[in-house]
Structure 1
Amino acid sequence: MTIIRTIPENEAVGEVAEIYADDVESLGYVPTHTKAMAMNPAAYGAFQALIRSVAKPLGLRRYELVTLAAARGTRSQHCRLAHGAKSLKLFDEEQLERIARDYTGAGLTDAEVEMMRFAEQVGRDAATMTEADSQRLRDAGFTDQEIVDIAIAASARVYYGSALQALAVDVDTPPTLGEPLRAALVDGL
Structure 2
Amino acid sequence: MTASFLSAPPVTAAVQALYDDDVDDVGYVMNLTHLWAHQPETLEGLFGLLGRVGAEGGFSLRERGILVAATAASLGDSYCALAWGSRLGNEADPVLAAGVLRGTDEGLTAAERAMAAWARAVATDPNGTTASDVQVLRDAGFDDARIFAMTTFVALRIAFSTVNDALGAAPDAGLSRTAPAEVWDAVTFGRPAAEDDAPA
Measured against the shorter chain, the TM-score band is 0.7 to 0.9
Alignment of 1:137-152 (within 5 A): 137-152=137-152
Q: Which residue of 1 aligns with 2:12?
A: 13
> When the two structures are superposed, what TM-score results if normalisation uses the length of structure 2?
0.82
More displaced 10-residue stretch of structure 1: 32-41 or 168-177: 168-177
Where structure 1 has 5 or more consecutive residues not aligned to the other structure, the ranges are: none
Output the CA distance in 1 between the equivalents of 2:18 and 2:88: 21
Q: Which residue of 1 aligns with 2:81?
A: 80
More displaced 10-residue stretch of structure 1: 154-163 or 123-132: 123-132
3-state SS of the aligned residue for 2:160? Answer: helix
TM-superposed deviation, 1:50:
1.1
Over aligned residues, Cα RMSD in angstroms? 2.1
Q: Which residue of 2 aligns with 1:63?
A: 64
Matched, 1:167 2:163: no
TM-superposed deviation, 1:22:
2.1
The structure where helix makes up a greater share of residues is 1
Output the CA distance in 2 between the equivalents of 1:153 and 1:67: 9
TM-superposed deviation, 1:136:
1.4
Output the CA distance in 2 between the equivalents of 1:89 and 1:154: 21
One-letter amino acid of the counterpart of residue 52, structure 1: G
Q: Which residue of 2 aligns with 1:131?
A: 131
3-state SS of the aligned residue for 1:186? Answer: coil
Deviations 1:21-77 (A, max 9, x none): 222222222211121122111210111101111223212111111111111221111
Output the CA distance in 1 between the equivalents of 2:19 and 2:88: 21
Q: Which residue of 2 aligns with 1:4?
A: 6
Matched, 1:116 2:107: no
TM-superposed deviation, 1:6:
2.2
Moved over 3 A (4+): none
Q: Which residue of 2 aligns with 1:156?
A: 156
One-letter amino acid of the counterpart of residue 112, structure 1: E
Output the CA distance in 2 between the equivalents of 1:113 and 1:22: 34
3-state SS of the aligned residue for 2:187? Answer: helix
Output the CA distance in 1 between the equivalents of 2:75 and 2:170: 16
TM-superposed deviation, 1:187:
5.4
Q: Which residue of 2 aligns with 1:33?
A: 32
Where structure 2 has 5 or more consecutive residues not aligned to the other structure, the ranges are: 191-200
Output the CA distance in 1 between the equivalents of 2:33 and 2:156: 15
Corresponding pairs, count = 184
